[in-house]
Structure 1
């Protein structure tokens, strides 16, 4: 039965949103009130994100769609998945989390992404993109096997996410079934950066009415309707209501504007994807103090790559949909024919780089640590097995903070160091990053992965003269006699500061630089000289840097105490990076406490 029959307007009040805390209450509203609710919801999102920060543009663009979906469908019994979760803030607000939405992405607060343990309305966790169609198809098949023929299954996926290989794999399967699935293509022509590729061009032609007669989705056996205006509730409601009675796989194409309702967010969609703090009325971002701080590691990478590419015509750059986030944008501006955004296609990015390497090019494949997980087989099968000298630059390695468990880059050392032929390097500062990149492009006989964190470095004067780094070499930063601290990567800077509080001569500090190959000569000297050895890393203990040191200690017959400080066998929650490091017990305070205990032994 239609939700539109016998509607009673219960809330002739100034603020409708104040009285809506669930979809059941939403469905009691008159359809004519929904545009007003959309305006209030959009304002609520702007007010909170302006001061608490978070992902803004994507959720502003889906407000009307969110309201229409929960109005027409019987959620949570009907299953609704948001892909990717950036666009789900309105969904969270309307499904019981409005009163705590100001805790979004804060320590102890709600997640910035849909999460099954957080709400019954979050049918599937979606921190990474392009998973929704596979998941909703699995749910639809389960409903059929359980003879629940009335349940609806809806996946909302963006035009950037649907171009991913996994989404196409799912569409290929979906079209061969009679599953009761509605895919809603939220087409705003942008992910985090503008969408790219042939599918983007096709969708543009569909919107202009100039596409070829055959529809790609109909060719995949999906009943296609659209495109319709995703901000017009009077169009959305009847079409969604109609689609409820259509069975089998179907796709609704809606057109939206990312950042809708905030002028600056509509104009500068890349910046206002996650703008930081801003004025909720004007949209103006808070004045930047960037010039007073060290550069972000991603920008050091981006500028250094341009510097190297100017002198080495074999260098190419590849990123899967993150030219701004990874700062490959600098090379794309300077050398547009040698830098490639391949869209949300991590597997393709890695094997594309492998193909280039077979022909003598030097591809720098820059991928966030958490997204490189999506291309693990390609790293092994297409790069390492063939010993191709691809240069992986792993951004956002380590704890990332408020994006939480889905985005923490804490597994790369463990999942990469077990791969034969692969060199794994972690620079402690900007100079080391530049030198690692310089060394890699000189022509290594193996693939190399260079991992560096989210955030800023430690050097104001970062554009240092290039020097070659010996593969597998480490650095002695401070000589001691009793306790040796072995650090890997950027975390070594906070360690260096922490041990300054202790008496000179007792605590030694070594920047190991390479997780693989480890500097065995240095380790042998350390094991012989010190009573205690502490390894510390911003990665998982299981199989990580400390485990590698322990393996070498066992191989050498070292019997003294070795303590591994790293992240325990659990998923870390969201919070600031500092808060999460403290909870993980890998911050300076945790190290100081450990040292004090050992000095007393």
Structure 2
């Protein structure tokens, strides 16, 4: 479709324009917006499925709140394509993730509507609370919203933010939990099961209907509901709500693709003071069947045919370094029962899904929790296992203390594999793996290796297994040199050379 064929999309250049639409027009606009994202991502790849799932949420937020005065902090930023297009970057969206174009993530220097930069997970609540507290201190009335996915909510920083913000009863902060039961891969951990339980709870849904019935009446009843809300919710839910226990008023769950319900709910919450959390249920890949049916693949699918959903393979026959890692790890695990795999929510991204499929009991996805991944690996090593802990180079920065104190000082045989070492291209500044050599080169007792080709990566992994001390391998994104490696005999390399 040409832009002229988008009847509403071509007319909206700012949230001010969006607010002029009727409820029916807003629905049509979201349909056009979703189609535009699909078409543009088919030829200029990016993070597709996450943004498709947040189209209605982004539109409703800008429809209800007065941005950029009101602040919206998006966690990570995988889901912000609709937000970028709504906020005056419709044409620039064609240049996303390209040299001279716009970032694929929120970036403060790019737009006044990007209230805080994105790229790493679990930061939104802490940052938004800081903004809300600053507004309170200055006597300003603008609202602050943090949008965080259920995958990012597994990160420790998210809970630190909740814990601190919940103790500030007067600070006006709204946290929106965008729950699609996914990180990049399937969501994992106890929080996933907890959110599934409350999203399907008869008590919660009954409470939601009663609550919005009250909120639709007079302001006097609204204030009465606010005062009685905690007591009512605690009684209905037998004091089982995690967020209520952290002093956040919990609302929801609501259908994140029902625009009418979303807009009505956000308007009701807009003027309620104090910390509050709205639980929104969405579908990753919504509106594009291939993405709905295979959400991990369509998180960032590359080029594809928008009509058929056929993915267009990139040229080149050399193996990707991540696949060399994945296949070699399975081989090592088959030959040595001490070998286990650990990843912080990146099994597909680093190809540890191969071990997860072959030996599920020996592969651990710990959620978006890099520090925990390293210390968990240290615990495994202290008990006689040899963990291969795979973390993207840029994310390993978050586990620096854990590498030093929990692995290196104790001289534990953890093999840390840093995928995406070096420049990573389109993902941009937040994802470049440029600090690992400088940061970890100073850590005593840690051997650091970097392969020149696929066969050397394979042998470095074997060497790390045999070494018996902390061992780190960093390798780049993308394909290797094309050297034959499958089936090659393992060779231990001289450490320190």
Under a length normalisation based on structure 2, what TM-score does the superposition of the two structures give? 0.90
1:430 deviation in Å?
1.1
162-171 vs 210-219, which deviates more?
A: 210-219
Alpha-carbon separation, structure 1, partners of 2:264 and 2:358: 49
Alpha-carbon separation, structure 2, partners of 1:72 and 1:240: 7
- In the alignment, is the contact (CA less than 8 A) between 1:346 and 1:375 conserved in 2? yes
- In the alignment, is the contact (CA less than 8 A) between 2:454 and 2:484 conserved in 1? no
Of residues 21, 28, 33 in structure 1, which corresponds to 2:25?
A: 33
Of residues 149, 164, 167 in structure 1, which corresponds to 2:155?
A: 164
1:32 deviation in Å?
2.2
Alpha-carbon separation, structure 2, partners of 1:405 and 1:269: 25
- In the alignment, is the contact (CA less than 8 A) between 1:103 and 1:109 conserved in 2? yes
Q: Does 1:448 align with 2:461?
A: no
Secondary structure of 1:182's match?
A: strand
1:377 deviation in Å?
0.7
Structure 1 residues not aligned, in runs of 5+: 1-12, 474-601
Q: Which residue of 2 aligns with 1:557?
A: none
Alpha-carbon separation, structure 2, partners of 1:14 and 1:190: 31
Secondary structure of 1:449's match?
A: strand
Q: Which residue of 1 aligns with 2:436?
A: 412
Alpha-carbon separation, structure 1, partners of 2:381 and 2:8: 59
Secondary structure of 1:261's match?
A: coil
Secondary structure of 2:399's match?
A: helix
Secondary structure of 2:479's match?
A: coil
Q: How does 1:328-407 map to 2 (within 5 A)?
A: 328-407=352-431
Q: Which residue of 1 aligns with 2:188?
A: 196
Deviation readout 1:369-415 (Å, 9 max, x if unpaired): 00000111101111111111111011000110000000000110000
Under a length normalisation based on structure 1, what TM-score does the superposition of the two structures give? 0.75
Q: Which residue of 2 aligns with 1:182?
A: 174
Decide which structure has greater helix share.
2
Q: In the superposition, relative to structure 1, how do residues 14 and 86 fare at CA in structure 2: closer, same or farther (>3 Å)? A: closer
Structure 2 residues not aligned, in runs of 5+: 205-236
- In the alignment, is the contact (CA less than 8 A) between 2:387 and 2:414 conserved in 1? yes
Deviation readout 1:219-251 (Å, 9 max, x if unpaired): 111011100100001100111000011000000
Q: Which residue of 1 aligns with 2:83?
A: 91
- In the alignment, is the contact (CA less than 8 A) between 1:293 and 1:460 conserved in 2? no
Rg (Cα) greater in structure? 1
Alpha-carbon separation, structure 1, partners of 2:447 and 2:483: 29
Q: Which residue of 1 aligns with 2:320?
A: 296
Q: In the superposition, relative to structure 1, how do residues 287 and 419 fare at CA in structure 2: closer, same or farther (>3 Å)? A: closer
- In the alignment, is the contact (CA less than 8 A) between 1:81 and 1:154 conserved in 2? yes
1:288 deviation in Å?
5.9
Secondary structure of 1:86's match?
A: coil
Q: In the superposition, relative to structure 1, how do residues 419 and 287 fare at CA in structure 2: closer, same or farther (>3 Å)? A: closer
Q: Does 1:272 align with 2:298?
A: yes
Q: Does 1:245 align with 2:271?
A: yes
Q: Does 1:18 align with 2:42?
A: no
Of residues 19, 24, 48 in structure 1, which corresponds to 2:40?
A: 48
Deviation readout 1:421-443 (Å, 9 max, x if unpaired): 11111111111111111111124
Q: Does 1:232 align with 2:262?
A: no
Alignment length (residue pairs): 457
Q: Which has the higher contact order (CA 8 A, sep 6+)?
A: 2
Alpha-carbon separation, structure 1, partners of 2:490 and 2:65: 60
Deviation readout 1:103-154 (Å, 9 max, x if unpaired): 0001000000000000000000011110000000000111111111x21000
Alpha-carbon separation, structure 1, partners of 2:100 and 2:366: 36
Q: Does 1:152 align with 2:148?
A: no
- In the alignment, is the contact (CA less than 8 A) between 1:62 and 1:256 conserved in 2? yes
- In the alignment, is the contact (CA less than 8 A) between 2:454 and 2:483 conserved in 1? no
Alpha-carbon separation, structure 1, partners of 2:104 and 2:466: 42
- In the alignment, is the contact (CA less than 8 A) between 1:86 and 1:112 conserved in 2? yes
Alpha-carbon separation, structure 2, partners of 1:42 and 1:230: 14
